[in-house]
Structures are given as structure tokens and as C-alpha cells.
Structure 1
């Protein structure tokens, strides 16, 4: 019985992610909400709570965007109930997913390391000849 519940929570999470993405894009009209994307939704086995991970494409607007989504949580939960037709809609908990920003920072560090390594190689080759 436990594995079936787990699969159901995963199905609900996937459907919630799709529906929330559409609802946020079309129906949340808050000037503090930046350009966001839902990276993941995790629903507890009892379907009481959902962690919604949000990527904010303008890093300086991340805190304001999460606040805007938290303000809209009740409305979004009501609309999810209408769209998904499930008896109990999980309580929404929005979290900032900084993985894109971390990835960009890591790429920049790698690029700097590679370019400085290239300068070291060029300097080293000139000395040997």
C-alpha cells in the first residue's frame, strides 16, 4: 500500500507543477513577481503539504518574488482545487531554488580558471623555447 501512495504523491506533484506554472504565468498579477520558473514540486505522502521550488531569473528579485508567491498562495491553492479536481489541495510552501545562479557562478569560475591556465601555458611555452 505504501508504494501506491508514493506514486500518487509523485503524480499529484507533477500535475501541480504544470498547473501552478500556468496559473502563475496567467493569473498572478503582482508587480513584485519577477520572471520565474517552477523547478520542482515535492508533495508529502499524505498530500497535506507541497514544497514548490522556484527559479527566479533575475537574482536581485528573488526575495520579492518569493514574497509575492507566498501572498498569492491562498488564491493559487483555490485555483488548483478547481483545475485539478482533488479533494484536498496541499498547502503550498514556496522556496527559492538558486541552482541556476550557482551554475552561472560556477561557469564563470571555470571560465576564469581556464583562461588563466591558458595564459600560464603560453608563458611557459615561451620560456622553454
Structure 2
């Protein structure tokens, strides 16, 4: 199972901070294994963001299942419709499949922020 270094975790946190400042949305990343169906688990993680869930974007990477999900709240979905999220997920999947876990996640956060800014 791929792992990220402390430095890579810092890169992900920095990308999240930049994305949040640029878009006004909340970004969250979860790397791990699903305890139930992957989409359902990602939606539960998203709901656990509480009051922020409506304006949140969750990127969930199922390390064991080698898959990912992007979940958006009601407000976030206005700036990031499903089609745009699918395009970003496809590009992320290419990087993840090549073994670049941190790079794939950073790319995804940055690309989602860029898509949200373009729509605004």
C-alpha cells in the first residue's frame, strides 16, 4: 500500500490551504480503505464535516481498492458540477496509477480549485 512522506503530507496541506483561500470552499482529503461501499463511505466522511459539508469538497482515495471518489456539498456543487469532478478524477487516476499518490492528490486539489474559480 502506498504511503506518503511527511514532506508530501505538507504539500497536500499547502494545496488545500491555497484551494480554500482561492475558492471559499472547504477541501478535505482522506486516504485509506473503505469500511463499506466506497461511494457510501466517502459520502459518510463528507457528512462528518458537519456544518461545513454544504460548501465542502472531499477527495477520498481508497488505497486498498485503488480507486477514488470526489464528493461535493450542495453549495460546492454549484461551482463544481459532477462532470468537472469526473474530469479531474480521471486525470488524478492516471497519476495515482503511476504510483504518484501525493502528486495525484495535490494535482486533484489544485485542479478542482481551478475549475471552481473558472465557474465563479
State TM-score, norm by structure 1. 0.28
For the pair shown, the structure with the greater C-alpha radius of gyration is: 1
